Structure 1
Amino acid sequence: MDDFDQEAVLAKVHLVESDILMVSGSLVDGSGTPSSDFDFSVIAQSKDERFHRDTFPRESHMRYYTSGDRVKASFDYLPHSLLGVDVEYWTVQEISDLLAAHSQLYGHMKTRARKSSSFAASAVDFRLLSRLTYGVPLTNAAGFEKITAEIRPGEIAYTAFRTAVGSYPDFRDLAGMWAQGDHESALIAARKLGVDTFRGLTHAYGNTNRNPKYLARFLTRLPDSLSGLTGRFRQLNAYGPGSTADAADTILEWLDLIDLAFAAIRRVRDEADAFVGREEFLGLLRSELHRTMSWNAEISNEYCFRAREATDDVPSLRSMLSAMVRREAVEHTLPLHAWASGRAAPAGENNKSA
């Protein structure tokens, strides 16, 4: 990292004595590089004129960002340095509201057995939530401890997990591309599904950061017993197939890695703090089924795909792919009709409930 003048950094922050100044980001979580910025959050006791659009010292900043009449963030490069200073401005009440919104979201996610839609996660600033779990207070440590006392890192990890894992439509698209012989598109789809699943694996081990940019670094922090699996993922994700002729085999290799990642998730999720356990997750799947559904191969395949994050008793993704190309249901032993017996059609989901 370049040398820097501490006073030059603080000049970009506009502190008063009662503020909480938190430093976070990649320089704190261990994933930083020589080009990483300083990531600060100023948490004021209440809104004041320092961060009002009309009174903010805009001439002192390279750029700044507003929401309504409030300045929410600023960015600058330090003089005679390549270092950047990225500052976000919050109030104690805004942090409290954010934590309350996440608590509601977590409660909602515990009732769902599929990958979260964007509408459910949009009300929560996951980046700030993650930073609050590991950020370091540089001022007003007592105030920081007070506002973060209600943070539940395990719950944040679980909501992040549900934004990563369980998208049958993604696998279904991959299968359709494969059936058409479009290996280029299928390879891109397989890689995305792999990145999502391995990101989910890091969340099962407590990672709260959803940014895939540093996924390879987060994977190196998992137990040594997973190093072979995560090493194969990192190699394939970063460098891909050797040539276009290898595309089909690489897609199948991705499916094998995803199956192994799901097996690792199953082994840890019952002990993961705040995660929905395996039996409880299967119960959520059962609650979606009802006797009057239009039963067909797709329903069977969808539940076979989604159940693999909680049960070993499912066929491989390779087997699923072969069956779907034949437009058939893959053979499995999940008692879907028994699960649906006696159940009426559920009420529709409220997309705004989170």
Structure 2
Amino acid sequence: MDLSSSPQDAYSFLNGQLRITRDEVMQRCAPRKGDIVILSGTLVEGIGSKHSDLDAYVICDELPPVRHVGDHSFIIEQNGGLRTFVDYIRDDGFAIDVEYYTRAEIQAMKDEVQGLYRQARERTKTLRKKMPHAYEDGLHKMQVGIALTGGDEFASLFSADFWKQMSFVQYRNRTGGYPEFKDVMGTWGSGDFDTSLLVCTMFLMDQAAGLCHLAGSTNGKAKWVMQNLKRLPDPLRPLGQDIIDWYGSAGRSAEDRRAAVLSACDLVARIYEADTTLLDADTRNFYSAEEALHLTQQEFLTEPFHDPQTVLEFEFRRLLFNSGTRSVRELLIQNV
């Protein structure tokens, strides 16, 4: 859905099946003077369904007092103030989820992202440290939302570079993961193609999610990866569709599953090639492939032991930046 970033009198979703007015949102949020109100959620993002809720975020100086807001409200209180409430606003179960964050809390969320971003730029090993889920989800929904009040201040709070840096952190959380790839190699080599297909499916999902993040999505929920793949920029959309098609391609026999794992390796290689292009296109906010390979080599030299598994891990990590003497498929086949 293409909703204007400017506030309107009313918002319609799912071809008019769901509708809410700006006044109704404001009445539910009850903002104080100077508060920023943001309407968001998967419906606003364009990937929701008739069972989705709307989300509203209120950025304020302090949490408001707890109050009863509707006939069916579910309220969460924190530190003596109202943190969030969910209320049904239609007889069919359509609900709005309103969350309150202070400006100080927003700054803490931004600081968390910036701290992780600095770590993400220093190495190439998968970044296992993630931002708290509430931060990731809240920030994402603010990014895709519409500021109903305080639009100028909201725009000043979050620069375009900030969103790129957040997506880079998410890319670094999801992409790579040699222990996970080693699970694919181990199960494939032992002939357990059922388990190999399962762990390969999870591994491919993470690599696909990383690509979506690097392409600009900050939606960190795994259940939306398919929708995010459909919304990739035009040059990457055929790859996104091929990944989606792969998920329905595995047959029942062991040979079918074996073939599916090998074809997934080829898709992973294409993802890493696309990642490299995206990295090189924005060296202001991402490291370039050349810089990443240099960091990888530095990390390899500081390893205390260059045993076979360590050598294999770093060979795999070079593939993330479209470099190496073997493909992902060859790495699997030749190291079972």
Calculate the TM-score normalised by the size of structure 1. 0.82
Q: CA deviation at 1:134?
A: 2.9
> Quick check: 1:81 aligned with 2:92?
yes
Counterpart Cα distance in 2 of 1:255 and 1:77? 45
Runs (4 or more) in structure 1 with deviation over 4 Å come to: 7-11, 58-61
Q: CA deviation at 1:142?
A: 3.1
Partner of residue 298, structure 1: 309
Q: CA deviation at 1:151?
A: 6.2
Partner of residue 251, structure 2: 242
Counterpart Cα distance in 2 of 1:182 and 1:67? 49
Mapping of residues 1-354 of structure 1, within 5 Å: 1=14, 2-4=17-19, 6=21, 9-48=25-64, 50=65, 55-57=66-68, 60-117=71-128, 119-122=129-132, 125-149=135-159, 152-237=162-247, 239-245=248-254, 246-272=256-282, 274-290=285-301, 293-325=304-336
Counterpart Cα distance in 1 of 2:304 and 2:199? 29
Q: Give RMSD over aligned pairs.
A: 2.4
Residue pair 2:167, 2:217 contacting (<8 A) in 1 also: yes
Deviations 1:199-220 (A, max 9, x none): 1112222222222222222222
- Aligned identity (percent) is 25
Residue pair 1:77, 1:85 contacting (<8 A) in 2 also: yes
Counterpart Cα distance in 1 of 2:154 and 2:285? 23
Unaligned runs of 5+ in 2: 1-13
Deviations 1:65-97 (A, max 9, x none): 344544322212213233111111111111122
* Paired residue secondary structure (1:290): helix
Counterpart Cα distance in 1 of 2:25 and 2:278? 42
Kindly provide the amino acid, as one letter, of the partner of residue 161 in structure 1: Y
* Paired residue secondary structure (2:306): coil
Q: CA deviation at 1:302?
A: 0.3
* Paired residue secondary structure (1:152): helix
* Paired residue secondary structure (2:241): helix
Deviations 1:173-206 (A, max 9, x none): 1111112222111111111111111111122222
Residue pair 1:129, 1:156 contacting (<8 A) in 2 also: no
Counterpart Cα distance in 1 of 2:280 and 2:84? 39
* Paired residue secondary structure (1:294): coil
Q: CA deviation at 1:106?
A: 0.8
Kindly provide the amino acid, as one letter, of the partner of residue 45 in structure 1: D
Partner of residue 338, structure 1: none
Count of equivalent residues: 318
* Paired residue secondary structure (1:71): strand
Residue pair 1:9, 1:78 contacting (<8 A) in 2 also: no
Unaligned runs of 5+ in 1: 326-354
Counterpart Cα distance in 2 of 1:14 and 1:137? 15
* Paired residue secondary structure (1:100): helix
Residue pair 2:86, 2:96 contacting (<8 A) in 1 also: yes
Residue pair 1:12, 1:60 contacting (<8 A) in 2 also: no
Residue pair 2:161, 2:285 contacting (<8 A) in 1 also: no
Q: CA deviation at 1:274?
A: 0.7
Partner of residue 10, structure 2: none
Kindly provide the amino acid, as one letter, of the partner of residue 196 in structure 1: D
Counterpart Cα distance in 2 of 1:212 and 1:220? 14
